[in-house]
Amino acid sequence: MKEIYLDNSATTPLYPEVITLMNRVQELTFGNPSAMHEKGIAAEKLINAARRQVAHVLGVSGQEVVFTSGGTEANNLAICGGARRNRKRGNHLITTVFEHPSVLNCFRYLEREGFKVSYLPVNRSGLIDLEMLQYEITLATTLVSIMHVNNEIGTVLPLAAIGQVIKAKNPRTLFHVDAVQSFAKLPLDPERWQADLISCSSHKIHGPKGAGCLWIRKGTQLDPLFHGGGQEMGMRSGTENTTAIAGFGLAAQLSGSAQSDQAATMVALKNAFIKEIEKQGIAFSINGPNPENAAPQILSLAFSGFKAELLLHSLEEKNIYVSAGSACHSRHSKPSHVLKAIGLQDDLLNSSLRFSFSALNSLEDVTLAAHKTAETIRHLKTLINQ
């Protein structure tokens, strides 16, 4: 049976070109990028090329991109590094309640270090109240972290408006954007957002795991997390993972240059999926924003009365891979904090699946997956409602 992978917000399969490149780099460019001889220079060149590729997608200058081990590290560096560096100016931080755990748990940790954190609530669509944001910002607010696209429900936050509110109230407050779910999937505009820090990840855009980056606006000061040989402009010590970074660069280039086409493809896939499930007459509701306003790749659906794990494994049996809640914490069997934050009732909370698409999925497969989802639900219905 053919495999249909619809868990692309958890991670994506690699582009074949990326695999080929990485194999070559692994074999030939093993030098330490910091070494003075040509072996080192060859590796350094690859890393700087990747830096330019990533910067190009972000629409920024290459010198400001720091490679990390992934999105989690980029978020940690931005939030912990920014908060600690600016502690003399203030100890107040702001974020939202429905950020990724790699953001939320940084803030929880900083609270233990004595920082005060405001967690902004979100409405049913996952949007924050800009007036509340404005009210929360004070002279003591040193950093605000808000995601671009929510990884579970696909809300796209109005970052330009948010940045405007932040900078109008306190120009010195750093604005961090977790763009892991939007990088190379939506147009990014750090200037218009007035962002200072942006986190991106490689493995969500058909690149390898173990690579990501933090864009740091020129002049922004952070405390590094790692101390050592001073690689990556002193922001990230440790010998660079040349292979993964080169793969990340190529993936960024391939995804970035096709961004608008890929987005259109994913929107078409998502719409086809919804249409097919509707056609099958299955009762469901969409969590979060209206699909038209949501990120192209993410669709969160609730199937009232069916436990999410049960649906997930039943689809797995048919070689269809999706996630319940968000993959990063669905193993803990705790209801998703995102779905809770948008006010979902318990019943729907535990019956929600996330389907996430990529441009590598075919329309045929996605329609088939929707068809099989409906079939699964009909089968389970005969077992559950008797």
* C-alpha separations of 125 from 21, 147, 270, 294, 347 in Å: 40, 14, 18, 9, 18
Q: Which two tokens stand for residue 190?
A: 């750090």
Q: Quick check: 1 binds another protein (CB under 8 A)?
A: no
Site stretch for another protein (CB under 8 A), options 22-30, 85-93, 113-121, 327-335 = 327-335
Query: CB 98 → another protein: shortest distance, Å?
Result: 23
Q: Quick check: 373 binds another protein (CB under 8 A)?
A: no
Q: Quick check: 327 binds another protein (CB under 8 A)?
A: no
Q: Could you count the other beta carbons within 10 Å of the beta carbon of residue 41? A: 13
Query: CB 317 → another protein: shortest distance, Å?
Result: 4
CA distance 87 to 83: 6
C-beta of 45 vs 313, nearer to another protein: 313
Is-catalytic flag, 328?
A: yes
C-beta of 155 vs 352, nearer to another protein: 352
**Between residue 217 and residue 276, which ones bind another protein under the rule CB under 8 A?**
none
* Amino acid of residue 141: T
Q: Quick check: 385 binds another protein (CB under 8 A)?
A: no
Q: Quick check: 290 binds another protein (CB under 8 A)?
A: no
Q: Quick check: 347 binds another protein (CB under 8 A)?
A: no
Of 317, 343, 345, 362, the one binding another protein (CB under 8 A) is: 317
Residue count of the chain, please give it: 386
Of 160, 268, 274, 310, the one binding another protein (CB under 8 A) is: 310
C-beta of 103 vs 369, nearer to another protein: 369
Query: CB 354 → another protein: shortest distance, Å?
Result: 17
Q: Quick check: 332 binds another protein (CB under 8 A)?
A: yes
Torsion of CA 20, 22, 28, 29, to 10 degrees: 150
Site stretch for another protein (CB under 8 A), options 193-201, 298-306, 331-339, 345-353 = 331-339
Site stretch for another protein (CB under 8 A), options 26-34, 218-226, 264-272, 326-334 = 326-334
CA 280 to chain centre: 32
Of 314, 326, 358, 373, the one binding another protein (CB under 8 A) is: 314
CA distance 164 to 170: 10
Q: Could you count the other beta carbons within 10 Å of the beta carbon of residue 167? A: 18
C-beta of 191 vs 317, nearer to another protein: 317
Q: Quick check: 29 binds another protein (CB under 8 A)?
A: no
* Amino acid of residue 27: E
C-beta of 287 vs 314, nearer to another protein: 314
Site stretch for another protein (CB under 8 A), options 10-18, 43-51, 61-69, 302-310 = 302-310
Of 316, 319, 363, 364, the one binding another protein (CB under 8 A) is: 316
Q: Quick check: 287 binds another protein (CB under 8 A)?
A: no
Q: Quick check: 382 binds another protein (CB under 8 A)?
A: yes
Q: Which two tokens stand for residue 213?
A: 């980056």
The strand pair at 298-302 and 320-321 is best described as unpaired
The strand pair at 352-356 and 298-302 is best described as antiparallel
- DSSP for 323-359, written as a single string: EES-TTTGGGTPPPHHHHHTT--HHHHTTEEEEE--T
C-beta of 128 vs 377, nearer to another protein: 377
C-beta of 290 vs 385, nearer to another protein: 385
Q: Could you count the other beta carbons within 10 Å of the beta carbon of residue 132? A: 13
Q: Which two tokens stand for residue 191?
A: 């200037």
Nearest to 53 by CA among 260, 263, 261, 248: 248
Q: Quick check: 2 binds another protein (CB under 8 A)?
A: no
Angle at the Cα of 195 (from 189 to 200), degrees rounded to 5?
Answer: 70
Catalytic residue among 80, 200, 213, 328: 328
Of 3, 16, 171, 383, the one binding another protein (CB under 8 A) is: 383
Cβ–Cβ < 8 Å for 231, 238: yes
Q: Identify the bridge partners of residue 321 per DSSP, sorted by sequence position.
A: 5
The strand pair at 197-201 and 212-216 is best described as antiparallel
Residues that bind another protein (CB under 8 A): 307, 309-310, 312-317, 331-333, 382-383, 386
Catalytic residue numbers, as ranges: 328
